[in-house]
Structure formats: C-alpha cells, structure tokens
C-alpha cells in the first residue's frame, strides 16, 4: 500500500514514515500543507496522515481542499488538540479519524488499517456529462457527439478537472497547482496554451463552445445559456 505523511515536524514525520516502511508500506512525505495537497491530488494513496497545525495551509485546509476536489482517500489527522470541539472540527472538515499526540505507533497503525478496510461513503464520479460531451474517467476517454477526442494526458487531465467542476469557475492557479505544482508562475501562459489546444479538440467543428473563458478568473465548462 502507498501512504502519504503530511507534517511540518520532521521528527514526527520520520517516526511515522519509518514505522510504516518497516511494515512494508510505500511512504511519501510532505513537509508542509501546500506540498502535501499537491501530492495528494496527483498521487494514488491508500491513506493519508496529516498534522492539523502547520504553517501555510493547515491540516484542515488540506482536507477541505481534497474533499472539494472530490478526493475520497481516507485521512487520519494527528494533533495536539484533544478537546471534543477540536475533534468535531476535524471530522466536519472531512477527516475520517483523529489521533491526539503523543500517540503509540501501534495505535496509529491499527487506525490506518481500519480506515483502509472501511468502504468509502461515496465513490468518486467516474463519468461526467456536459451537453454532448462525455468524460469517462475510468476508461480515460472523452467523446463529443459520439466522436472520440484524441487528447494528450495533460489535456485529458485538464478536461477532467473542468468537467468535475462543470458550471463552476476553475482558476488558472487551481489548474496549475493540480497539474504541475506550485513552482510555475500563475501569470504565465502555460494554462492558456494548453486550454487553446484543448478547445481545438473539444469545441472546434461542433455546434456550440463548451469551454468558456471567465475574464480575469479562469475557465468554466458548461453549455452556453
């Protein structure tokens, strides 16, 4: 199994990662919430362990962003805050379990295994339909009016992100962060260039344009009013 540990405390992160590796797990580590969110969205993890209190994006911010993006990966929150209200806040943010520091690794391991065995509350949508456009995530296939669209992996990922948020604005920064990471300048025309090529395949030659620009914000996938 593949795990992700998000914690700004290097000692805690190393302790948890080493314990899981000794059990035969593959473990990735993130030293902050921004990096952790990017890895969570781009990776395929069986479970994620995240510290609640981190500079920048907090653990709860990371979880809320993951859930907003449709990611259902089980998440265990580590925290020094053990009050009932704190636990409730974590669960309401989308966490699946809560473990208060200090903790025994045996309990952490048992809780992770329980989360992995637990069936998801809802499966992530595998099919998105917008007008005559169908994005089949499981088959990694997109069609428009029954015609298969010849998309590159990045183009398909862009289209999937737009389709998952159909009818809602998706900013250039959101697309940059979810596809390539934080080291790109959001003012650069990288996204615009990819969207231009995607439009040529999704909209050109069809009755209406589904990929629309929201000036100064980003893009939205929807049927014209």
What's the token pair of residue 176?
A: 């940059």
User: Going by DSSP bridges, is the β-strand pair 211-214/170-171 parallel, antiparallel, or unpaired?
Assistant: unpaired
Mean pLDDT of the chain: 86
Instruction: Give tens-digit pLDDT for 6-44.
Output: 999 999 999 999 999 999 999 999 999 999 999 999 888
Task: Round to whole Å and give the CA distance between 89 and 79.
Answer: 12
- Give residue-wise pLDDT tens across range 61-96: 999 999 888 888 999 999 887 666 666 677 777 888
Helix, strand or coil, per DSSP, at residue 78: strand
- Whether pLDDT at 186 is above 90: no
For the segment 132-137, the average pLDDT, to the nearest whole number, is 92
DSSP notation for 16-62: HHHHHHHTT-EEEEESSHHHHHHHHHHS--SEEEEES--SSS-HHHH
* Better-predicted residue by pLDDT, 189 or 5: 5
Of the chain, the end-to-end C-alpha distance in Å amounts to 46
- 218 pLDDT above the threshold of 50: yes
DSSP state of 225: -
Only one residue has tokens 């209406």, namely: 208
Residues contacting residue 149 through CB under 8 Å, at least 6 positions apart:
142, 143, 201, 202
Q: Which residue reads 């920048």 in tokens?
A: 56
Nearest 5°: phi and psi at 129?
Answer: -125, 125
Question: Side by side, which strands form the sheet with 211-214?
Answer: 170-171, 218-221, 211-214
Q: Is the pLDDT of residue 221 over 70?
A: yes
6-15, 125-134, 183-192 — which is least confidently predicted?
A: 183-192
Please name the residue ranges forming H helices in the chain. Answer: 10-22, 33-42, 59-68, 84-92, 105-117, 153-164, 172-179, 190-202
The pTM (predicted TM-score) of the whole model is 0.54
Mean pLDDT of the 201-214 span: 94
- Measured CA to CA, the distance from residue 76 to residue 193 in angstroms comes to 38
- Region 179-187: what's the mean pLDDT? 52
Helix axes 172-179, 153-164, angle to 10 degrees: 130
105 DSSP β-pair partners: none
What is the structure's pLDDT at 134? 94
- 182, pLDDT greater than 50: no
% of the chain beyond a pLDDT of 90: 49
Coil vs helix vs strand at 165: coil
């Amino acid at each position: 199994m593949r795990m992700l540990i998000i914690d700004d405390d290097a000692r805690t992160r190393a302790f948890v990662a080493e314990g899981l590796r000794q059990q035969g797990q593959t473990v990735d580590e993130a030293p902050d919430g921004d990096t952790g969110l990017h890895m969570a969205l781009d990776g395929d993890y069986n479970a994620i362990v995240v510290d609640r209190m981190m500079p920048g994006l907090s653990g709860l911010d990371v979880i809320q962003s993951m859930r907003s993006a449709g990611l259902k990966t089980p998440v265990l929150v580590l925290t020094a805050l053990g009050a009932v209200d704190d636990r409730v806040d974590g669960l309401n943010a989308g966490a699946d379990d809560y473990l208060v520091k200090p903790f025994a690794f045996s309990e952490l391991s048992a809780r992770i295994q329980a989360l992995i065995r637990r069936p998801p509350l809802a499966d992530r949508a595998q099919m998105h339909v917008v007008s005559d456009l169908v994005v089949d995530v499981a088959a990694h296939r997109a069609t428009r009016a029954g015609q298969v669209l010849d998309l590159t992996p990045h183009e398909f990922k862009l289209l999937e992100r737009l389709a998952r948020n159909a009818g809602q604005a998706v900013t250039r920064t959101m697309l940059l962060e979810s596809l390539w990471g934080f080291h790109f300048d959001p003012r650069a025309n990288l996204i615009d260039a990819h969207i231009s090529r995607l439009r040529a395949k999704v909209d050109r030659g069809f009755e209406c344009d589904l990929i629309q620009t929201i000036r100064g914000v980003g893009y939205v996938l929807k049927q014209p009013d």
